[in-house]
Amino acid sequence: MSELKSQDAIESDNILQVRNLAVEFHTETGRTKALQGVSFDVPRGQVTAIIGESGSGKSVTASAIMRLIQPPGRVTAGSIDFAPSGSEPYDVLALVDKDSRLEQLRGDHISMVFQEPMTALAPVYTVGNQVAEAILCHREVSKKVAWDEAANMLQRVGIDDLQRRMQQYPFEFSGGMRQRVVIAMALVCQPDLLICDEPTTALDVTIQAEILTLIRQLKGELNNSVLFITHDIGVVAQLADHVVVMQGGRVLEAGTVRQVLKQPMHPYSKGLMAAIPGLAPKGQRLATVASVVGATDITTAYPLTRLADGRQISLSPSQLKAFGHE
């Protein structure tokens, strides 16, 4: 893979830098260029959303970051520079298969949460054992310590009645609770980067909102970086600091939510403005934010913001900044 050498040094505020990434699939029906010249940054400690319609290349991008592209797929060009905390930055695509960093990458440094929680859980182990095992796989601690840490994380993601719940099997949990367990498993090893690939699409709307609130809250507490894949513009408006808009295997536009709001080129980006409560499609700034109310919304830890029409919503500090409220 010598042609896959890094092109730029990674900037210190970025945890991940994707440059000119190209992926192809060779199938009986021909060659599909799944990604072409994909470049974007994932700034450290923030939420970056990738949005795009079905088939635009979102999941293939995530797989490439995890080095999970399997034949008939192939990375044909590009670099993915990754700078985990406490390690020298390296190009994920340049690692040879037996490099120990590859094992660290999946699980220690980057965790993934997928759309369907059942696929990430083994049906024959109790929930407690699975979360504890995720810890034991990556760290040298006693079973007792792993169990206690698993309990702690399950509590943080909102699983009640812990001692009984940890002895139960995944089929005894609802879909929303399973996704909470998967998020707990993804977070127990304190990954530098959490990748969520449409983690709420299989859930009903109220549970979706709860899971999004949870991810935002945990991100605030654990201060990791999040790459959040979605086709839901409302999710971007609610959750993300940065956005990458993809279509047909290419990046159409990328930047802070503020930048993309200023000059939306793509219908998705235009939709982004419409999805923010109270923001008129033509308004360049959220002039409709009337005031930032002093109290903090306890469910999200973000300050409550009053819109001109009287509604109160909670916006993250960077979203407030994007709307001109420093």
Ligand X SMILES: Nc1ncnc2c1ncn2[C@@H]1O[C@H](COP(=O)(O)OP(=O)(O)OP(=O)(O)O)[C@@H](O)[C@H]1O
Can you give the binding site for ligand X, defined by CB under 6 A? 25, 27, 32, 34, 52, 54-60, 72-73, 231
Of 234 and 277, which has the nearer Cβ to ligand X?
Answer: 234
Q: Hey, is 302 helix, strand or coil?
A: coil
Name which of 72 and 324 has its Cβ closer to ligand X.
Answer: 72
Residues 29-68 that bind Mg ion (CB under 5 A): 59
Q: Which does 57 bind (CB under 5 to 8 A by kind): ligand X, Mg ion, none?
A: ligand X
Minimum CB separation of residue 92 from ligand X in Å reads 17
Q: Which is nearer to ligand X, 22 or 222 (CB)?
A: 22
34 binds, options ligand X, Mg ion, none, Cβ within 5 to 8 A by partner type: ligand X
In the complex with Mg ion, the residue whose CB is nearer, 62 or 254, is: 62
Helix (H) or strand (E) run with residue 296 in it: strand 289-296
Applying CB under 5 A, what is the total number of residues that bind Mg ion? 1
What span, in angstroms and rounded, lies between the C-alpha atoms of 191 and 224? Answer: 7
Q: How far is the CB of 59 from ligand X (least distance, A)?
A: 3
| CB closer to ligand X out of 67 and 138 | 67
> How many residues in the chain?
326
Q: Which is nearer to ligand X, 74 or 270 (CB)?
A: 74
Smallest separation (angstroms) from Mg ion to the CB of 34: 11
Q: How far is the CB of 212 from Mg ion (least distance, A)?
A: 18
Minimum distance between the CB of residue 229 and Mg ion, rounded to whole angstroms?
A: 7
Helix axes 175-187, 205-222, angle to 10 degrees: 20
The secondary structure of residue 263, as a DSSP letter, is: S
Cα gap 162→152, rounded to integer Å: 9
Coil vs helix vs strand at 39: strand
Three-class SS of residue 242?
A: strand
CB of 197 to Mg ion, least distance (A): 6
**What burial letters (b/e) apply to 297-309, b meaning 16+ CB within 10 Å?**
beebebbbbbbee
Measured at the CA of 238, the angle between CA 236 and CA 240, to 5 degrees, comes to 50
Residue 54 interface partner, choices Mg ion, ligand X, none, CB cut-off 5-8 Å depending on type: ligand X
Task: Work out how close the CB of 249 gets to Mg ion at its nearest, in angstroms, rounded to a whole number.
Answer: 12
Nearest to 228 by CA among 213, 220, 217, 239: 239
Structure tokens at 116: 């369907």
User: How far is 107 from 191, CA to CA, in rounded Å?
Assistant: 7
Q: Quick one: what does residue 247 bind among Mg ion, ligand X, none, with the CB cut-off 5 to 8 Å set by partner type? A: none
223: partner contacted, choices ligand X, Mg ion, none (Cβ within 5-8 A by kind):
none
CB closer to ligand X, 53 vs 172: 53
Q: Give the one entry of Mg ion, ligand X, none that residue 60 binds, where binding means its C-beta sits below a cut-off of 5 to 8 angstroms depending on kind.
A: ligand X
Q: Helices 143-156 & 175-187, crossing angle to 10 degrees? A: 130
Residues forming contacts to Mg ion in the complex (CB under 5 A) are 59
